[in-house]
């Protein structure tokens, strides 16, 4: 299946505090490579190696990364007589389409603009390109294919540490519950979509607020609850924690390392 990755975000909560402040969010580095690489390796691990990158802000950084990609940075190799023999590879069998989808386009509009590159495939995958997970993708896809649905999204428990307070009419507190322990789910950013989604995204529309919301009204949106590893990278601290986790070998999202 083709994988659509939305790579045009500005990452405004990261830019002022990190080196390379003009980088788009998916190009912020975790370990040896950008977030985008980690997400792509996740999909490639399950055999999905046809990628369509929806470019916007900072597009040239992403183009330059792939145009100058060095397999030796993340793979073992043998140097013999000045020639490099790779013992493993990352992206040599990937197909990557890099498509300009507008500087400030909403995600739904970015999706609309790459529709011709899907080659008419009825089912395809999509992702925000800035979240890491160990979610079982084959099971997610199988469940979707077996369902009468137009779209599926991975949903996860809220990741923040806020406490929800139950306040009575007299101001007395009846209970305190950590928000992550409540029966709530949030959009996890991993989608399986049918071409049907395009029927519900207007020009300059949004994938979730327009497309998925309309499918939900029609009973055609499927959720896959995942309580395993899932980490966003919306802030500097979140990105730095992922980087530290990689350094200490705590990287459950890197499923390809255990293949």
Segment 245-258 shows an average pLDDT of 94
Write down the residue that tokens 């306040």 correspond to: 167
Between 88 and 255, residue with greater pLDDT: 255
Is 14 within 8 Å of 239 (Cβ atoms)? Answer: yes
pLDDT over 90 at 179, yes or no: no
> Is 233 domain-assigned?
yes
> Is 178 domain-assigned?
no
| Domain boundaries, position 228 | 2-156+185-258
Task: Give residue-wise pLDDT tens across range 137-178.
Answer: 999 999 999 999 999 999 998 877 678 888 988 888 888 887
> Is 109 domain-assigned?
yes
pLDDT over 90 at 86, yes or no: no
Instruction: With H, G, I as helix, E, B as strand and everything else as coil, classify residue 52.
Output: strand
Q: How many domains does the chain have?
A: 1
> Is 9 domain-assigned?
yes
Task: Give residue-wise pLDDT tens across range 185-228.
Answer: 999 999 999 999 999 999 999 999 999 999 999 999 999 999 99
> Is 98 domain-assigned?
yes
pLDDT over 70 at 11, yes or no: no
Tokens of 94: 């990937």
pLDDT over 80 at 15, yes or no: no
pTM for this predicted structure: 0.89
Q: Which helix (H) or strand (E) holds 193?
A: strand 186-194
Q: How high is the pLDDT of residue 17?
A: 45
Task: Give residue-wise pLDDT tens across range 17-62.
Answer: 445 457 888 999 999 899 999 999 999 999 999 999 999 999 999 9
> Is 164 domain-assigned?
no
Instruction: With H, G, I as helix, E, B as strand and everything else as coil, classify residue 225.
Output: strand
pLDDT over 90 at 229, yes or no: yes
**Cα 185 off chain centre by:** 17
> Is 117 domain-assigned?
yes
CA atoms within 13 A on the CB side of 213: 9
> Is 162 domain-assigned?
no
DSSP 83-149: EEEESS-SSTT-EEEEEE--SS--HHHHHHHTGGGGTT-SEEEEE-SSEEE---HHHHHHHHHHS--
Q: How high is the pLDDT of residue 168?
A: 86
pLDDT over 50 at 183, yes or no: yes
Is 128 within 8 Å of 191 (Cβ atoms)? Answer: no
Instruction: Identify the DSSP state of 17.
Output: T
Task: Give residue-wise pLDDT tens across range 230-251.
Answer: 999 888 899 999 999 999 999 9
- Domain of residue 24, CATH code: 3.90.550.10
């Amino acid at each position: 299946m083709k994988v659509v990755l939305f790579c045009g975000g500005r990452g405004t909560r990261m830019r002022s505090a990190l080196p390379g402040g003009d980088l788009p969010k998916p190009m912020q580095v975790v370990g040896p490579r950008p977030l985008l690489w980690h997400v792509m390796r996740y999909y490639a691990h399950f055999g999905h190696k046809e990628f369509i990158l929806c470019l916007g802000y900072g597009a040239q950084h992403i183009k330059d990364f792939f145009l100058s990609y060095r397999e030796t940075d993340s793979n073992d190799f043998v140097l013999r007589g000045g020639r490099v023999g790779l013992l493993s590879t990352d992206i040599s069998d990937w197909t990557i389409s890099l498509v300009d989808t507008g500087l400030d386009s909403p995600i739904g509009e970015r999706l609309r603009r790459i529709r011709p590159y899907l080659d008419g495939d009825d089912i395809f995958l999509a992702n925000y390109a800035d979240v890491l997970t160990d979610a079982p993708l084959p099971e997610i896809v199988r469940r979707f294919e077996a369902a009468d649905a137009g779209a599926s999204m991975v949903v996860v428990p809220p990741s923040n540490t806020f406490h929800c307070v139950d306040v009575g009419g007299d101001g007395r507190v009846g209970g305190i519950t950590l928000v992550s322990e409540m029966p709530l789910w949030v959009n996890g950013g991993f989608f399986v979509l049918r071409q049907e989604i395009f029927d519900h995204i207007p020009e300059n529309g949004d994938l979730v607020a327009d497309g998925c919301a309309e499918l939900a009204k029609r009973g055609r949106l499927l959720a896959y609850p995942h309580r395993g590893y899932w980490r966003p990278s919306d802030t500097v601290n979140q990105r730095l924690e992922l980087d530290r986790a990689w350094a200490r070998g705590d990287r459950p999202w890197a499923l390809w390392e255990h293949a």
